[in-house]
Structure 1
Amino acid sequence: MMHIINGKEVAQSTLLKLETMIRCIEASLYRAPKLHVYRVGEHPASMIYTQNKLNTGRKIGMDVEIIALPEEITEDALMHLIKKDNNDPKVDGLIVQLPLPDQLDAYRITNAIVSHKDVDGLTDGNLGGLVSQSSLLKPCTPLGILELLKSIHCPLRGLDALVIGKSCIVGKPLALSLMSCGCTVTVAHKATKQLKEKVQASDLVVSAIGNPNVIQPQWFKKHAIVIDVGINRLDHGAIVGDVDYQQCKQAGFVTPVPGGVGPMTVAMLIKNTVLACCHQHDLMDLYYEHFGEAL
């Protein structure tokens, strides 16, 4: 029997714990954790995503501010603002919403953020630390996926896991994280041959390719866990994932789109900001009291 993993419920549970933690932090620092979200221009999707982050954080008492910048801003000007925040002890985390206009180098700008404030987990320091299992702040979507797996009490050690997609935001960091949890991991991508056979052989399949026409629901083995990261808008406006989850009858657990991984990504951004604040202000005992050791 197929079970739906409700990402909204898991995210809400996490946010309730974070709300309690934020009140404790306020009692110690006389302020809430502060997150700066840089948005360049008025890209429609970026405006939706940044507003969602603002609303989610503020709803539980976090100090979130969107730094809205003009489309034509220069790289030097943006780097100056980031460096200013790097040195501000009252700013605990900062992110730069992607994509950026063509005149801006996303790699250089992302890596201008100091690692201990990089709450997206995308700087070279934090991504590289996944190899040595030394990163404090990890990419939000992989973190959210691990939390979803924890919510279904899934023992990861020994599972054959297939990650479809190799981006630095999802595929690569998730593969490393699953390896650290004891999975045997295969990474597939556009050039992968015999994808169907790899899906059929996997206990856990995570799809992050952004194409709803590649993976067929009947490919999954009985009782497989299917995590769908894809967000695809169809011609008539509907939002779907990479997998038609309602047709995965033989799977054990599946995430829907929307309402699966998406809410967890935002919740993990808030959690990373709280973690960054605790780390910077000697409040890690408080963090461990609420969440145990970081994933």
Structure 2
Amino acid sequence: MTDWAIDTQKLTKHYGDVVAVQDLDLQVTQGEIFGFLGPNGAGKTTTIRTLLDQIRPTSGAATILGRDVHRDALEIRRLIGYVPGDLALYPRLTGKETLQYFARLRGGVEQSYIDELAERLKADLSRKVGDYSTGNRQKIGLIQAFMHSPALLVLDEPTAGLDPLIQQEFHAMLEEVRDEGRTVFLSSHSLSQVERVADRVGIIREGRLVVVEGVDDLKRKAIRRIDFEFADPIPSGTFTGVAGVHEASVERRHATVSFEGPVNDILRAAMAHEVLNLNSRESDLEEVFLTYYRDAVSPGGNQEGKVSDVH
């Protein structure tokens, strides 16, 4: 049996002349939380729908837990929990009736575990789904995905409408899944959500996977910033030509330096003057994300990273 929870080889999906996903080579290890990042229209949802055999690829192949996503689709459905980005539920059923329906489809699920998940997510199961807010509907979607303890959770924008306290509990649930050796594939455009829980992230842009790395490794590559306060005004060119500096803004006794790589040369340049204070701003995943989407304008006048209508 393969160690990959998800394995794709040149997975491609076109809609006529529109490229939704192109030559996607992606491996997700069993027992990790993998963040799949990109703005709306980058190809995240199309990738998920192709993996779950909801749509057929134009070319390429994929496996989930060592099983072919088309040939073994029924068996795969028994092994996964899924929250779609466009979650739709029966409006006339209560939350409890909805979960009982899904439990019967699963061949039976412990009601006590359903109740435990409902308590953790503060979900009121007595009301009709049609009366729920977006966040409360999302809670039902999460419960049905978690309630049978699947080997793989595929979650497409799972925190939509959830308040911050419930999001914290959701993150704890994801970490418990990982600690049990199970896998989470978390697709989102919310960088802060992914950064908090993911072991690795993949960034998809216009249907192409542009990077896959550990969160900490990516953050180390991001442009960082240092704010300096000096005792006296310093020359405007103090940081010009210093290794690693991308941009430096100097205004009398204050300077902000954007850089990547080691900080030694920057500190040496600063210490030629009397430094009263400095503050290093930690890079986050959003900086990395913007780095991969901040491209020059193409000849046609559009941003190369412009979001299309294909999800």
**Pairwise same-fold verdict (TM > 0.5):** no
TM-score by length of 1: 0.34
Q: Which has the larger radius of gyration?
A: 2
Q: Choose between structure 1 and 2: higher strand proportion.
A: 2
Structure with the higher fraction of residues in helix conformation = 1
Task: Give the TM-score normalised by structure 2.
Answer: 0.32
